[in-house]
Amino acid sequence: MTGNSFGRLFTFSSFGESHSECIGGIVEGFPAGIKLDMEFIRKEMSRRKSQSKFTTDRREEDEVIFLSGLDRGITLGTPLAFVIRNNNIRKEDYKDLEGFFRPSHGDFTYFCKYGLNASSGGGRASARETATRVVGGALAKLFLDKFGIKLDSKIVELGGIDYISDKDNAKAKLKQALAERDSLGGVIECTIHNAPVGLGEPVFDKLSSVLAHAAMSIPSSKSFEIGDGLESCKRKGSQDIDHWKESEGTLTNHSGGVQAGISNGEDIVFRVGFKPIASIGTLRCKDINGTIKEIDNRGRHDIAPVLRAGVIVEAMAALVIADFIKIQQSNKTI
């Protein structure tokens, strides 16, 4: 199996399945001589944890155990390897699904690709894997902090409702979905502050392209747009140009801080759309012979992935920016 690593000079690799003994990862490219802020890493992990009735009732401690790359809490410049134990697994929840493929899950595609698939949970396709990304992203954020680069995110849409201006109706729809054993999609907006001009490589490794790659690798992600995205596509050029200020910067930021695939010094703003999770109520599953069987879903899941996805989106964006910083350093001093 390939495709488990991301980045070129600041790299992140992950391993483990949703119901295996542990999950984990390796970060390379982190500089030596830095006191690792474990409290910050714990806080980032807590942002991803299930904390309400609308999120999964799978409760994991998510203690991050570093295996290498540290000496008395100081980074050595060598690979930072870590594990996170899976302590709250329930393989018995998937007993009725043995031999059957759930609709809109990775069961069937993994089986066709590898000749078998994980017998419990979603394996590598599970959102459990994203816990490792949060650790990798936390390390990237600690690296970016040296450059004054910050990231934040927010839910802007939930179940087709504007979450900023109509939060009450969005929450009511969330309660309805919970009662009906259903799920909702939504949109996360992420902003990268204080990124320098010049990040991104021409043509195939544009900053926007790699951000899209990173965002679309997150489970349940279905769309990506940067700046004004599709709204820009509806305008005239005269309405969409980011005109210069007489001082530094531009009067508007329709392009989302990226022009010709390279950062222009404005805030980098992008949005990631997440589909409603398919692990709901009773599912019409199919076996390899085409037999359809209705099976009650007992797997644990969020009502809406956006409820916990913000820190994951930030993590992937931080890994992208950290990697481009390292690439830029290899070209010239920032």
131-147 in b/e form (b: 16+ CB < 10 A) is: bbbbbbbbbbbbbbeee
For residue 1, how many other CB atoms are within 10 A of its CB?
A: 8
Least confident of 79-93, 160-174, 240-254, 257-271: 79-93
Rounded Cα–Cα distance for residues 20 and 28 (Å): 24
pTM: 0.93
Residues in CB range of 316: below 8 A, 6 or more apart: 6, 133, 137, 214, 215, 217, 218
Query: SS3 of 80, please?
Result: strand
The pLDDT score that the predictor gives to residue 278 is 87
The pLDDT assigned to 18 comes to 79
Q: pLDDT tens across 43-77, in order?
A: 999 999 877 777 765 666 789 999 999 999 999 99
Report the alpha-carbon distance of residue 100 to residue 94 in Å, rounded: 10
pLDDT of amino acid 89 = 63
Question: With pLDDT > 70 as the criterion, what percentage of the chain qualifies?
Answer: 93
Dist CA 22 CA 179 (whole Å)? 32
CB 255 within 8 Å of CB 242 = yes
d(CA 205, CA 226): 15
Question: Closest Cα to residue 121, out of 102, 141, 138, 143?
Answer: 102
Reference 297, options 218, 182, 186; nearest CA is 182
Sequence-distant (≥ 6) Cβ neighbours of residue 110 within 8 angstroms: 116, 117, 118, 123, 124, 125
Mean pLDDT over each residue of the chain, to the nearest integer: 91
Residue 334 has pLDDT above 80, yes or no: no
Question: Given this model, what pLDDT does residue 332 score?
Answer: 65
pLDDT band at 206, cuts 50/70/90? very high
When comparing pLDDT for 25 and 298, which is higher? 25
- Low-confidence winner among 90-94, 206-210, 294-298 (lowest mean pLDDT): 90-94
Residue with tokens 């993590």: 315
| Residue 161 confidence (pLDDT) above 80 | yes
Token digits for 51? 């904390």
Q: What is the Cα–Cα distance from 150 to 111, expressed in whole angstroms?
A: 40
Most confident of 47-51, 110-114, 194-198, 293-297: 194-198
Dihedral pair phi/psi, residue 144, rounded to 5°:
-70, -25
Hey, is 298 helix, strand or coil?
coil
- The reported pLDDT for the residue numbered 84 is 95
Q: Tens digit of pLDDT for each residue in 133-159?
A: 999 999 999 999 999 999 999 999 999
In DSSP terms, 5 is beta-bridged to: 13
Q: How many whole angstroms separate alpha carbon 44 and alpha carbon 23?
A: 17
| Interhelix angle 130-145/306-331, nearest 10 degrees | 50
Residues 181-205: tens digit of each pLDDT: 899 999 999 999 999 999 999 999 9
